[in-house]
Structure 1
């Protein structure tokens, strides 16, 4: 077995153990003391229940919004449409603040840390990688069950008024008896406990390796020696990795880990890249409103910490070719344009940013001036307007061709 295959097997074993540990959680379910076989059986039951919860629109206030509405399995558990942000709320007319991210390949995201030291891949445990981790765009939750709470209670998503609202809906659902079998006959007597059971089931379902981290892309086949990349894809991979060209692998790591684990195509870091303000997001009609990621408004514990303003977590690029909107604010609508932004942001700002009344380009217009020092200037950023972009048009096409090799075999994008 190759080092890659061994690493993958070890990863799946570890993640299986994680699922069992979740299933054992006594605070949620009273499942302490289960045998290994019982724990696996309980995890399987939670997986099946979570799948039903994930696809059930009746859990929303509108009765029309399920998790699958925005996290469609055919699109890498991301949105199936071209909307900058998705609509939800009690009337299905409330727009969100951010583009919906994919839920795939989140199993290895570390807990949020203001200062992250990674010795395994960096090789130097003294290197501070800065703010890293967390499961959302702003890193504000660390566990899948906590992430699952957010859309259930968000006023512009499923818009439930609280735990009791969710518990009442589940009690009426066709799978209520499954809740009772897994947790207890009295699970619905305590709405907080029932709600905790719901998000635990959603968490366990999202640890289903076959669906959420299958590593079935052509690139995985290439790393395993089973697939040949085309000449264009090969050029694109080289440009992706080249520090003097795309430098994409600086944040979107493309090589297996030192232990053979498959590349996740992210370093999990939080970074400000200064994407253009999206004026199609209704909240942005207020010139004084800014979505500043880690320092608010959806995250509150780092409010007032200027060094975190404008920072958003680097997403995995796996299945990126299935997306129809890009970046945290959905301001770009094609993969090619997303790649072009990186090499043209500083060489051709007029293409990307609006102008003031005096005709001057408002560069970095979605980040207030006092926080613009946070914006990343590592290559391919940092060039001057008079410079040539780090990538030519044909080289951008090559990188896009490579990125298409990262789509899982199970996803169709249709």
Structure 2
């Protein structure tokens, strides 16, 4: 997606344009939904409310089907692949399905991902790219857009669309906005501060492969090359998240959101072994969220950690009937059983209540904007 001929806009002007587009509700069919409506700058570019899923569509009131993720710390997200080999790890180890934007990894790049919400009937509600460009041309952003890409840019629809997506992509690569590394944990790694006793206990449980085992997917260590941790391995995994019966789409008992194998993603629908897998999100800024998991069914960090610790020892606490009730029977083998999962109903939980509280305390150290 090269810049239009004769125009080579710089990063500062593309960033400014992308920011303005990100905040502009006039680009939606309803005129009420901006990118920032679901990805608030005040919430680490995640949702700024307690709704399980956000509202959008042509009327601005239609309920979505998945929780809005944070857009921070996606700068190193690889394109989706079914077979991933970590550059810093053992080349012989296949980590399986990894990468891609969205909960199901279907968008290969930030450029491609930027178009999805603009055209989604559940998000910004534009019927096609022509409608997007018409709204952009009629919006308060049109003069700025012409200044960046040329006075005749709207006469070249393909170039205009690519320019719009490029501006959104460049904005979302802004270090200060999207990967600032300013949390207390970052300061701790720089040896600029110390963690409290409770936070250190939580970190120990987080890293312990026999306890929380969180770091096996949410990597907490500095990489061999010196890069600070992203707190995700970008993998897609099925952990048996309970069905969120409050979602309108789940009023249909035959509807299942199976992530990697559909319904939003269709290219892997015949790979039953992938059903129920969703991308592992970064845990950076997780404490500023108000809902958790792909269906927004959990409302506190303590609840999330407790689910990991007791999913198998106290399943009735989480499932209204059948265990793993948000996927059809027969897919139980797809569900992850590694620690902290495992154990028999009625058995000892993987973590004590104190350990759960300690992990939550540690997770709060991952919030950007720490000041000593």
Output the TM-score relative to the length of structure 2. Answer: 0.97
1:192-249 deviation digits (Å, cap 9, x = unpaired) = 3322211111000000000000000000000000011000001000000001110000
Distance 2:176 2:309 in 1: 35
Partner of 2:49: 81
How many residue pairs get aligned? The number is: 371
Partner of 1:330: 296
Distance 1:187 1:296 in 2: 37
Distance 1:272 1:31 in 2: 48
1:113-154 deviation digits (Å, cap 9, x = unpaired) = 10101141x2x1100100000011000012111111111111
Verify the 8 A CA contact 1:135 1:143 in the aligned structure 2: yes
Partner of 2:73: 105
Distance 2:83 2:315 in 1: 32
Deviation at 1:30? Answer: 3.1
* Residues 1:400 and 2:360 aligned together: yes
Partner of 2:19: 51
Partner of 2:107: 141
Distance 2:148 2:235 in 1: 37
Distance 2:338 2:56 in 1: 37
Which of 340, 353, 363 is matched with 1:380 structurally? 340
**1:12-161 counterparts in 2 under 5 A?**
25-26=1-2, 28-30=3-5, 42-120=10-88, 122=89, 124-161=90-127
* Moved >3 Å (runs of 4+): none
* Residues 1:209 and 2:175 aligned together: yes
Distance 1:259 1:151 in 2: 35
| Unaligned stretches of 5+ residues in structure 1 | 1-24, 35-40, 356-361
Aligned residues: CA RMSD? 1.4
| Unaligned stretches of 5+ residues in structure 2 | none
- Name the structure where helix makes up a greater proportion of residues: 1
Deviation at 1:410? Answer: 7.5
Distance 2:114 2:307 in 1: 32
Partner of 2:152: 186
Output the TM-score relative to the length of structure 1. Answer: 0.87
Verify the 8 A CA contact 1:77 1:104 in the aligned structure 2: yes
Verify the 8 A CA contact 1:55 1:68 in the aligned structure 2: yes
Verify the 8 A CA contact 2:117 2:124 in the aligned structure 1: yes
Verify the 8 A CA contact 2:184 2:370 in the aligned structure 1: no
SS at match of 1:382: coil
Partner of 1:19: none
Deviation at 1:44? Answer: 1.1
Q: In terms of mean alpha carbon deviation, does 185-194 or 132-141 score higher?
A: 185-194
